[in-house]
Chains A and B, each alone.
Chain A
Amino acid sequence: MDEPRGNDEGANTGASALSALDRRRFLGLTAAGAGLLALRANGAPCSSLEPTPAALPGARKTKRVVLVAFAGGVRTRDTFGSPENVPNLKKLADEGVLYTRARTANLGHFGAALSIFTGVAEQRGIRENARGPYPTVFEYARKELGLAANDVWITTSGGAQQVNYAYGLHAEYGAAYGANTLDGEGVFNKEFKRVLETLGRPREMPKDEEAALKKLRASLAKGGEAGLNSAESAAQVERYILQELTRGTADLTGANAGDAKALRLARNLVSLFKPKLTAVVLQEADTAHGSYNGYVEVIRRNDAALGELVQALRDDRELATSTAVIVVPEFGRDRDLNSRRGLDHGDGSEDLSNVACLCWGPDFERGKVVQEAVQVVDVAPTVCELLGARAKLAKGKRLPGLFA
Chain B
Amino acid sequence: MLTAVMALALLAFEPMSVRAGVPVVEGNAMRPSELLAPRLLRTLAMDALGRPPLESERAEWSTKSRAELVDALLATRAFWDHWKEEQLYYFLLLNNFRPKSDRVAAISAELAEGQLEVRAATHRIALSSSFDQRNPGADTFVTVVMEQLCGLEVKKNARELEIGKKVYDGADGTFLGASGKTQADLVRIAIQSPQFTRHFLAREYARYVHAKPDPKELATWAARFDADPKSFRGIVRDWLLSPAYDARVARGAPQENRLFVRALYVDLVGRAPTDEEAEPLREALDGLADPTPLRGVFARLLIDSDKVKLPKREELADAGAWIDGLFARLLGRAPSTEERATFVGSLAEPGCRTQTVVYAIVSGAEYARY
Q: Give residues in A with beta carbon < 8 Å to B.
A: 106, 108, 123, 125-129, 149, 154, 156, 159-161, 163, 166-167, 175, 178-187, 189, 191-192, 194-196, 199-200, 202-203, 206-213, 215-217, 219-225, 227-229, 234-235, 237-238, 241-242, 286, 289-290, 338-339, 342, 344-346
Contact = CB atoms under 8 A, between A and B. Distances in A.
B279 A191 contact: yes
A219 B340 CA distance: 9
B136 interface: yes
Most buried by A among B287, B301, B369: B287
Most buried by B among A179, A192, A342: A192
Nearest to A215: B346
8 contacts: A108-B143, A127-B134, A160-B283, A181-B288, A182-B288, A187-B288, A220-B360, A238-B296
Given A108-B143, A195-B280, A200 B351 contact: no
Given A221-B336, A223-B366, A289-B137, A183 B360 contact: no
B349 interface: yes
Contact of A238 (B4, B134, B297, B304): B297
Given A163-B287, A181-B288, A224-B365, 11 more contacts: A127-B93, A189-B283, A200-B304, A202-B304, A221-B336, A223-B252, A224-B254, A228-B292, A234-B290, A234-B292, A339-B169
B287 A241 contact: no
A135 to B, nearest CB: 14
A199 B293 contact: no
B286 A242 contact: no
A186 B284 contact: yes
Interface of B: 4-5, 8, 90-91, 93-95, 134-140, 143-144, 147-148, 153-155, 165, 169, 252, 254, 276-277, 279-281, 283-284, 286-290, 292-294, 296-298, 300-302, 304-305, 307, 336, 338-339, 342-343, 346, 349-353, 356-357, 359-361, 363-366, 368-369
Contact of B289 (A123, A180, A286): A180
Given A212-B356, A221-B339, A181 B292 contact: no
Contacts of B134: 127
B360 A126 contact: no
Given A123-B155, A192-B283, A241-B297, A228 B290 contact: yes
A220 B339 contact: yes
Contacts of A189: 280, 283-284
B87 to A, nearest CB: 12
Given A195-B277, A196-B301, A212-B352, A220 B292 contact: no
A242 B148 contact: no
A163 B293 contact: no
A208 B139 contact: no
A18 B284 CA distance: 42
A104 B227 CA distance: 45
A175 B288 CA distance: 12
Given A127-B93, A199-B301, A222-B4, A234 B140 contact: no
Nearest to A179: B289
A210 B353 CA distance: 11
B16 to A, nearest CB: 19
Most buried by A among B290, B346, B357, B369: B290
Contacts of B283: 159-160, 186-187, 189, 191-192
Nearest to A181: B289
B342 A219 contact: yes
Contact of B346 (A129, A184, A185, A216): A216
Contact of B95 (A159, A166, A215, A241): A159
Most buried by A among B139, B293, B304, B343: B293
A227 B364 CA distance: 12
B287 A182 contact: yes
A237 B281 CA distance: 17
- A-B pairs with the 6 shortest C-beta distances? A183-B287, A346-B139, A208-B351, A186-B287, A166-B289, A289-B136
Nearest to B363: A217
Given A213-B356, A215-B346, A224 B368 contact: yes
B187 to A, nearest CB: 15
Given A127-B144, A181-B287, A187-B288, A229 B293 contact: yes
B284 A238 contact: no
Contacts of A212: 346, 349, 351-352, 356
